[in-house]
Amino acid sequence: MSDGDDCLFCRLVAHEIPASVVAETETTLAFRDISPAAPTHVLVIPKEHYRDMAAIIADRPELMSDVMATAMEVVGLEGLQEEGYRLVANTGASGGQTVYHAHLHVLGGRGLGWPPG
């Protein structure tokens, strides 16, 4: 069994679960979070399964660059350059990660406050 067989986001990449896709490249997918925490809340993932950003950097650093470039594309598509936005990578239990397929949250459209709860 490959990593992706029981992974929610791998199933989404495989079109087994519907997604509201915002942007797509050969290596990445950006789609709206099902439970948005802000007016813009988009998740950017590598299509290939990695459990977190550290795993991507360790194995294939150029893929992290792809993920970041797609996040910047989403920022542009959502018109967030001027007002600003937040990129978040919840990692591990203390970081609040619930889906163990690496993803970057792109949040914007309201004042987000700091620090997070």
Q: Report the alpha-carbon distance of residue 57 to residue 33 in Å, rounded.
A: 24
Site string for Zn ion, 12-51 (x = CB under 5 A): -------------------------------------x--
Q: Report the alpha-carbon distance of residue 23 to residue 12 in Å, rounded.
A: 14
Among 101, 103, 107, 108, binds Zn ion (CB under 5 A): 101
Closest approach, Cβ 58 to ligand AMP, in A, equals 19
Q: Report the alpha-carbon distance of residue 106 to residue 86 in Å, rounded.
A: 6
Closest approach, Cβ 117 to ligand AMP, in A, equals 13
Which helix (H) or strand (E) element contains residue 106?
Answer: strand 104-108
Name residues contacting ligand AMP, limited to 40-99 (CB under 6 A): 43, 90, 96-99
